[in-house]
Amino acid sequence: MKQILQNLGDGRAELTDVPAPKIRPGHLLIKTLASLVSSGTERMVVELGQASLFQKARKQPEKVFQVLEKVKNEGLFETIDAVREKLDHPIIMGYSNVGVVLETGEGTENFKPGDRVVSNGPHAEIVLVPKNLCARIPDTVTNEEAVFTVLGAIGLQGIRLINPTLGENFVVSGLGLIGLITAQILRANGCRVLGVDLDPNKITMAKDLGIRTVNLSVGEDLLRAASAFSNDLGVDGVIITAATESDEPIRQAAKICRKRGRIVLVGVIGLNLDRSLFYEKELSFQVSCSYGPGRYDPEYEERGHDYPFGFVRWTEQRNFEAILELLAGKRLDITRLISHRFEFDRAASAYELLGGSEPSLGILLTYGSTAVSEEDLLKRTVELQKKPDKHKRSKIGELVEPVIGVIGAGNYGLRTFLPALKTTGARLKTLSTSTGVSGAYAGKKFGFRYATTDTPSLFTDTEINTIFVLTRHNTHPDLVCKALQAGKNVYVEKPLGIFPEQVDAVQEAYLSTRNNETPPLLMIGFNRRFSPHIQKMKQLLHGVKQPLSIIITVNAGEVPPSDWTQDTRIGGGRIIGEGCHFVDLLYYLTASRATSICATKMGEAPGVFVTDDKMSFTIKFENGSFGTVHYFANGDKSFPKERIEVFSEGRILQLDNFQTLRGYGWPGFKKMSLWKQDKGHKESITRFLNSVRNRIEAPIPFEEIVDITKVTFDVVRSAS
């Protein structure tokens, strides 16, 4: 199938072949009939992409601050790589979609195949959308009308926040698509409306819809017009739907409001507020969040948990339904808002129009003109490279050439893992992702032959002999077991599992393959032990006879409790998900097994939810060594993110951020520095692939992987 993706680096929008998404519980698989290009939001994205790097920085000063912080904490080269990756990564465009349901996931009983629905799906021939972001279209509403539903819901949510009553006077500042729809809904609600804009074409459109207007482009005075409109009393409220960097809309809104008037911001504007205006009139000001309650709440959107009707009357989905009812009752005039129509295969022309000087308003994309079968649209594997494979096939008795399939291409995979994997020169065959977009992008970038959303196909592909698992933590055990049972070598990102029974299942699957003629290898992503600095530490400690005292301080940084890594059902929490790295380092540096564990975490405070990412734990080892890990998420970014200190025999080793290792009291060693941070990702992958090629034991023994994982579970239990 094809989908519109935009490059943030140069602003170019293009149709890209991507694998069709796979149905998931709580989601609908939809064949698109029409979609609407947002003349506001999408135009801003296009203009940002077309801007120079300096202009991008000016438009996003908060991002500049983040970049400077990253330079200070992680180094210039690491930051440059991160910025390049961000600018190169494609943006999914579109959020106003009409289509027909092809397939329903578990838990979507209110929908069935064949239903015509609206959704916030992107510009793509096939979309996968959570059920709470979809609504059925009444038979009397056309596709062209229904495609405005999502934009209408954005305006409707602003109206709900301003709480209009019959006969009140309102100003709508900004007469783009959302502004014109908002003005119509206010009029349908029995309010008097005054529309304001700088664009004469939009002013004309508003007048055609029966809306009184103020044309700022010809010098009409908004203050005087609003005073006359409200009989010199001041308007009851202002809804700002404009998109501009200027502060003028908010200043004007404050001036024309009556005492205790209301202002709601739906658009994007400058917000240097004049306190005196708000203070003297006791004005209320609120920012509206998209389509309504539920937006950005993963429980509502992704997991499908609706808010109780009696407590939250208007959710995102119910706002969609309200707009559709207005359309069915012919109380919204939408067809006049369409300025251009393009077939989907000419979508690039639509974006050229959007980024050009020609006036436009509602740009409609229609689908289905090309003779593409539904079977072709639903293909879940696409070929990224047409060139024949130049790699030689392995023969019996020769080294085994790894043929690789990768599952997952999230932020870590794109920025760190896949670049390291590419440098090994291994044969990359198939990259599998859940949505297909990241797979198509990363697959092309890193040289994969295919991108797919059909993960099981990697296990049945007889050519693929090695699988890398880079997905969310809760999925690791099942994928590892399936790969092992299929006879594939596996490299799984940590952790091995997030519950003990999952690790037991992996252990059982691994042991069941030991009698195979060529039993598969299993490796985990404990990459830090392979970093140059840790290898140097290990070399220096080789001759030490006395036990070691190790202190590892992790200035982890705050992660919101809502993040998936904090969810014990998905990420397992940050100690199981990331703290296992440091348990592994203690094992590796001491070359011994744990005998006892003691952990403590920050206590609960009144009114404060405390996650387990603020704890210390100490592990004692069989050889008398012990190590303490301080894993803190409540520190400052200016302090090193990871510091490792080893004390023994009157000497000290100190490593900061995997960039600089210092020795105190070590004969012949004082300092080892690198220009760029190296946490051992490439070396860990290289050693694993060498094990595959040479049919030798994996770099970390399986028994040690299991032991480290179980000790990490014990740390969390001890802290609790």
User: What's the pLDDT tens digit per position in 4-13?
Assistant: 998 776 667 8
| Whether residue 611 is found in the same domain as residue 627 | yes
Under 8 Å between Cβ of 292 and 272 = no
Give the single-character DSSP code of 474. Answer: G
Under 8 Å between Cβ of 226 and 257 = no
Alpha helix stretches (DSSP H) within 189-311: 200-208, 222-229, 248-256, 275-281, 298-301
Q: Is 49 contained in some domain?
A: yes
Q: How confident is the model at residue 221 (pLDDT cuts 50, 70, 90)?
A: very high
Q: What does the block give as tokens for 27? A: 């989601």
Q: Bridge-partner residues for 614, per DSSP?
A: 632
CATH for 12: 3.90.180.10
**Reduced to 3 states, what is the DSSP secondary structure of residue 421?**
helix
CATH for 459: 3.40.50.720
Mean pLDDT across the stretch 319-341? 95
Alpha helix stretches (DSSP H) within 389-517: 411-412, 418-422, 437-446, 456-460, 476-485, 500-511
**Side chain identity at 140, as an amino acid letter?**
T
Helix and strand totals (H; E) in the chain: 26, 31
Please tell me the distance from the alpha carbon of residue 263 to that of residue 269, in angstroms, as a whole number: 13
**Reduced to 3 states, what is the DSSP secondary structure of residue 619?**
strand
Q: Which position has the token pair 């199981």?
A: 576
Structure confidence at residue 79 (pLDDT) = 59
Mean pLDDT across the stretch 331-349? 92
Q: Is 693 contained in some domain?
A: yes
| Whether residue 696 is found in the same domain as residue 577 | yes
18, pLDDT greater than 80: yes
Of 42-46, 207-211, 670-674, the range with the lowest mean pLDDT is 42-46
Mean pLDDT across the stretch 681-707? 96
Element containing residue 33 per DSSP (H, E): strand 27-37
Among the listed residues 631, 613, 494, the one whose alpha carbon sits nearest the alpha carbon of residue 551 = 631
638, pLDDT greater than 70: yes
Q: Is 371 contained in some domain?
A: no
Please tell me the distance from the alpha carbon of residue 415 to that of residue 5, in angstroms, as a whole number: 19
325, pLDDT greater than 60: yes
Under 8 Å between Cβ of 648 and 541 = yes
Task: Reply yes or no: is the peptide bond before residue 547 cis, omega within 30 of 0.
Answer: no
Decide which of 520, 545, 570 is a domain's last residue: 520
**Side chain identity at 464, as an amino acid letter?**
I
**Please, what is the average pLDDT of the chain?**
91
Among the listed residues 95, 99, 123, the one whose alpha carbon sits nearest the alpha carbon of residue 32 = 99
CATH for 610: 3.30.360.10
Long-range pairs of 248-255 with CB within 8 A, sequence gap ≥ 24 = 249/173, 249/174, 251/277, 252/173, 252/196, 252/222, 252/223, 253/171, 253/173, 254/278, 254/281, 254/283, 255/223
**DSSP symbols for 319-351:** HHHHHHHHHHTT-S--GGGEEEEEEGGGHHHHH
| Whether residue 10 is found in the same domain as residue 107 | yes
How many angstroms separate the Cα of 80 from the Cα of each of 71, 77, 89, 556, 673?
A: 9, 5, 14, 21, 19
657, pLDDT greater than 90: yes
Please tell me the distance from the alpha carbon of residue 38 to that of residue 369, in angstroms, as a whole number: 22
> Tens digit of pLDDT for each residue in 462-517?
999 999 999 999 999 999 999 999 999 999 999 999 999 999 999 999 999 998 88
First to last CA, the chain: 49
Give the single-character DSSP code of 361. Answer: S
Q: Is 200 contained in some domain?
A: yes
Q: Is 318 contained in some domain?
A: no
Please tell me the distance from the alpha carbon of residue 487 to that of residue 467, in angstroms, as a whole number: 10
How many angstroms separate the Cα of 515 from the Cα of each of 377, 511, 518, 561, 597?
A: 43, 8, 8, 44, 35
Of 86-100, 398-412, 437-451, the range with the lowest mean pLDDT is 86-100
| Whether residue 538 is found in the same domain as residue 491 | no
Of 39-48, 127-136, 685-694, 696-705, the range with the lowest mean pLDDT is 39-48
66, pLDDT greater than 60: no
The larger pLDDT score, comparing residue 174 to residue 43, is at 174
Q: What are phi and psi of 473, to 5 degrees?
A: -60, -40
Of 49-58, 295-304, 638-647, the range with the lowest mean pLDDT is 49-58
Structure confidence at residue 12 (pLDDT) = 78
Q: What are phi and psi of 476, to 5 degrees?
A: -55, -50
291, pLDDT greater than 50: yes
Please tell me the distance from the alpha carbon of residue 609 to that of residue 603, in angstroms, as a whole number: 10
56, pLDDT greater than 50: no
Among the listed residues 216, 152, 220, the one whose alpha carbon sits nearest the alpha carbon of residue 188 = 152
| Whether residue 704 is found in the same domain as residue 662 | yes
Q: How confident is the model at residue 230 (pLDDT cuts 50, 70, 90)?
A: very high
> Tens digit of pLDDT for each residue in 77-93?
555 566 566 656 788 99
Q: Is 296 contained in some domain?
A: no
> Tens digit of pLDDT for each residue in 169-179?
999 999 999 99
pTM over 0.85: yes
Q: What are phi and psi of 683, to 5 degrees?
A: -65, -40
Structure confidence at residue 385 (pLDDT) = 85
| Whether residue 451 is found in the same domain as residue 583 | no
Under 8 Å between Cβ of 32 and 121 = yes
Q: Is 678 contained in some domain?
A: yes
**Reduced to 3 states, what is the DSSP secondary structure of residue 427?**
strand
| Whether residue 623 is found in the same domain as residue 687 | yes
| Whether residue 503 is found in the same domain as residue 544 | no
Q: Bridge-partner residues for 125, per DSSP?
A: none
How many angstroms separate the Cα of 640 from the Cα of each of 77, 562, 575, 657?
A: 17, 25, 19, 6
| Whether residue 476 is found in the same domain as residue 401 | yes
Please tell me the distance from the alpha carbon of residue 184 to that of residue 212, in angstroms, as a whole number: 11
Give the single-character DSSP code of 521. Answer: P
392, pLDDT greater than 50: no
51, pLDDT greater than 60: no
Q: How confident is the model at residue 370 (pLDDT cuts 50, 70, 90)?
A: low
Q: What does the block give as tokens for 454? A: 């059909």
Q: Name the CA radius of gyration of the chain, rounded.
A: 29
397, pLDDT greater than 90: no
| Whether residue 89 is found in the same domain as residue 162 | no
Around 191, how many Cα atoms within 13 Å sit in the side-chain half-sphere?
Answer: 25
Mean pLDDT across the stretch 101-105? 96
Domain that holds residue 283: 151-287
**Where does 522-659 show beta strands of DSSP type E?**
522-524, 549-555, 594-601, 614-621, 626-632, 642-648, 651-656
165: CB partners within 8 A, 6+ apart: 191
Number of independent structural domains in the chain? 4
Q: Is 622 contained in some domain?
A: yes
Q: How confident is the model at residue 395 (pLDDT cuts 50, 70, 90)?
A: very low
Mean pLDDT across the stretch 276-280? 93
> Tens digit of pLDDT for each residue in 586-611?
999 999 999 999 999 998 776 666 78
**Residue 226 CB-density burial (10 A; 0-12 exposed, 13-18 middle, 19+ buried):** buried
263, pLDDT greater than 90: yes
Q: What does the block give as tokens for 635? A: 């520190």
Beginning with the edge strand found earlier in the chain, give each strand of the sheet holding 522-524 in spatial order: 381-383, 450-452, 427-432, 403-407, 466-469, 489-492, 522-524
The larger pLDDT score, comparing residue 73 to residue 347, is at 347
244: CB partners within 8 A, 6+ apart: 267, 268, 269, 270
380: CB partners within 8 A, 6+ apart: 19, 20, 22, 436, 452, 453, 454
Q: What are phi and psi of 564, to 5 degrees?
A: -60, -30
Q: What are phi and psi of 487, to 5 degrees?
A: 80, 20
% of the chain with per-residue pLDDT over 70: 90
Mean pLDDT across the stretch 428-437? 94
Q: What does the block give as tokens for 677? A: 């941070």
Please tell me the distance from the alpha carbon of residue 436 to that of residue 442, in angstroms, as a whole number: 10
| Whether residue 402 is found in the same domain as residue 385 | yes
| Whether residue 651 is found in the same domain as residue 674 | yes
